[in-house]
Structure 1
């Protein structure tokens, strides 16, 4: 099973929990707000979430309504979209990125927020007090992905022992991962060239043209919603440039 599909199925269970806990009266339609930073509703994460909800007998058009809002990579739109979901009086808001969670947190202190914290650290960012006692109106799942980023780089080094010059694709959403990479690299000694992607949807071709000027031997890609949406294009261009 694809990793993101598995995560989404787990997220579906977490997402359903507030609906069960709220003990909705028969015939009531619960409204779920989904705040997406860059990905369409058709991507694996959201499709698998909805699949799991159906398996738990929550079916759109019957007992739930889904209000999907996508910032399409335009990060400054997130606060407005979060406020729109609050005005719609949804029963809960689902987020999957750092900036999405921040926008939802800024928009409401009452509506439950279910975060799927794949590539950010919610405790360090102040979204929750602790894993055992999140506090406030935010709950969800946390995969310690930032910590795993350092393990990925260590494995990367072991797999490619002859590589010393590495280009790193990063963006504002993956800032936590970049700091982790730079910290662990103090002991690995790789020459990192960070290519900071800005203003999604990203111009990946121009970014890799800039990267290739320093003649890197390999490419290390950090993870975010915007980068994930361009994953196929990144892989194709990396192969073309023999990275």
Structure 2
């Protein structure tokens, strides 16, 4: 699962590099600078089985060579959230092309540090309620990414698609980790109001 998320984040991040290119344009050969802002420690990057290993593998899969076509600048708060604003500013001062974050505190620090450098967040709970984006459908601003929070709107859309695929279905089951009780609530709410 971590590998899939890392591939999605790498694709989002790399999409920011190539999106401005005209279809007939040739890449400039510029070394892209990716800023990683983390709340934890630098050991997370060194973990061969961790999410950053998968992120780096996804970059390689897309033809990026670390040190030649992409530079990864990492800043770690070492579990001291008060350091995040300064670390985010350091990344902006390094003129990174994109900042990748994985928590609400790191995303907020990045948003406070810049309104122009794109910010890609990884699996943040609810980026709308965290004040990171205006909506999931149209994030606006300079932040985008993946959310693992199921909102009533998402649940409604998923149930709508399910109903189109199986119009005679009258029971819906939601499989979830029992420690995440909030995930079934949006589905229950939508089913009670829709079906």
Distance 1:93 1:151 in 2: 31
Distance 1:35 1:13 in 2: 18
The corresponding residue for 2:128 is 123
From 35, 40, 45, the equivalent of 1:41 is 45
Distance 2:83 2:38 in 1: 11
1:66: how far off? 0.8
Distance 1:45 1:22 in 2: 27
From 136, 142, 152, the equivalent of 1:137 is 142
The corresponding residue for 1:15 is 13
Q: Secondary structure at the match of 1:125?
A: coil
Distance 2:104 2:127 in 1: 8
Distance 1:113 1:75 in 2: 18
Distance 2:20 2:30 in 1: 11
Runs of 4+ in 1 over 4 A off after TM superposition: none
1:125: how far off? 1.2
The alignment yields a C-alpha RMSD, in angstroms, of: 2.5
Distance 1:37 1:146 in 2: 26
Normalised to the residue count of structure 2, the TM-score between the two structures is: 0.71
Distance 2:20 2:146 in 1: 19
Q: What does 1:67-216 align with in structure 2 at a 5 Å threshold?
A: 67-118=73-124, 120-144=125-149, 151-153=176-178, 180=182
**Cα distance change, pair 145–52 in 1 and its aligned pair in 2 (3 A):** farther
1:25: how far off? 4.1
Q: Secondary structure at the match of 1:134?
A: coil
Unaligned runs of 5+ in 1: 157-176, 185-243
Distance 1:25 1:152 in 2: 44
Report if the CA contact (8 A) 1:12-1:48 is conserved.
no
1:15: how far off? 1.4
Distance 2:29 2:176 in 1: 48
1:60: how far off? 1.0
1:146: how far off? 9.1
Normalised to the residue count of structure 1, the TM-score between the two structures is: 0.58
**Count of matched residue pairs:** 154
Distance 2:90 2:112 in 1: 12
